[in-house]
Copies of this chain bind each other. A is one copy, B any other.
Amino acid sequence: MIERYFLPLTRGRAEVAGLKDDAAVLQIPKGYELVVTSDTLNEGVHFLVGEAAGNIARKALRVNLSDLAAMGAKPLSYQLNIAFPHMLDEAWLAEFSAAMQEDNKAFDVFCSGGDTTSIKGGHLSISITALGLVPAGCAVRRNGAKLGDLIVVTGVIGDAYLGLKALQNSLNYEGAIGRYLMPCPRIRAVDIICEHANAAIDVSDGLLADVMHIAKASGVGAEINVDKLVFSKDVAHALDGNIMQVQDILTGGDDYELILAVSPVKLPILIRELKNIDLNPMVIGEFTSNISKPPVLKSKTHRIDVKLLGWQHFQ
């Protein structure tokens, strides 16, 4: 079972010794630092019961890679810990492994080990620790935002919220569903971020919450101009049809775009370089001296009920 479905995830790397040692031995190139992050996804909590094995594999890996991207790090390897609630299902494992192999290739990463166990209680749990590399001293932190830095998002948000809602209510928003099931960690942007951003975070808790994480860590305030948010076709349609509200876009998580703090002088080159790798960045506000919670929200076109922003989730 290990040989058939998990060994291929190591991509034959000598460091892993065919998963036959007690541990893997990894070389860290000179001049680099190691970035390490973990995320656990539990069935019925972080993904729907009965979700396809391939989607679980991709999501579990990608949310970890997104954390690496937010630090400006490139993926090196990951440890894969799966607790199975029942007898191993070969078809499930085959689909899981195939999807993981595709993503390994897409993001140039390999499995350096892990543990497969059985768990009582009937619900799958998958825990990944991802290892990444960043040039020494270049990691991008949450606490680097400066007064006057602009708030840049690397792409449209709100789709993950809509995707989950569409899945739960059988609505026809395929694009948004895809974004929810299969987030796209912005790994390709890490060199640009290291070079030009003062702070970064990925949108996992929600736009407002994650902007606040940067603001709080950096000791500044934040002002968001909601009118600057560009929406995907699906989200624009859902807003028009009252299927979702603007505050859902501000508070819904799981989009895994990056929020960046960028000084005005570096903004043009950052935007140009992000567009060069086919991202669609938008400038949605700036970090200010006005420390408030929630951050100042400006809009001429949207009515936002601050009471509905659900701050209790991320205070």
Chain A interfacial positions (CB closer than 8 Å to B): 17, 20-28, 30, 33-46, 67-68, 70-71, 73, 77, 79-81, 83, 85, 112-115, 117-123, 125, 127, 129, 131-132, 134, 136, 139, 141-143, 201-202, 213, 217
Contact = CB atoms under 8 A, between A and B. Distances in A.
Nearest to A132: B23
B22 A83 contact: no
A120 B47 CA distance: 12
Contact of A113 (B37, B113, B121, B213): B37
Given A25-B35, A33-B25, A143-B20, A44 B81 contact: no
B40 A117 contact: yes
Contact of A25 (B45, B71, B118): B71
Quick one: copies of this chain in the complex? 2
A43 B123 CA distance: 13
A242 to B, nearest CB: 32
A218 to B, nearest CB: 11
A119 B47 CA distance: 11
Nearest to A139: B25
Given A26-B33, A38-B114, A121-B122, 9 more contacts: A24-B36, A25-B34, A25-B71, A25-B139, A27-B136, A28-B34, A38-B80, A120-B123, A121-B123
A114 B40 CA distance: 9
A76 to B, nearest CB: 9
Contacts of A202: 22
Nearest to A17: B141
26 contacts: A17-B142, A20-B143, A22-B37, A22-B68, A22-B202, A23-B35, A23-B67, A23-B68, A23-B73, A23-B132, A25-B33, A25-B34, A25-B134, A27-B136, A28-B33, A38-B79, A38-B113, A39-B115, A40-B83, A40-B127, A42-B117, A46-B117, A83-B127, A115-B127, A119-B125, A127-B127
A23 B71 contact: yes
Contacts of A37: 22-24, 79, 113
A22 B70 contact: yes
A39 B68 CA distance: 22
A248 to B, nearest CB: 23
Which 6 residue pairs spanning A and B have beta carbons closest together?
A: A121-B121, A23-B37, A129-B129, A22-B67, A127-B127, A121-B123
Nearest to A131: B36
Contacts of A123: 119-121
A272 to B, nearest CB: 25
B120 A17 contact: no
Contacts of A114: 38
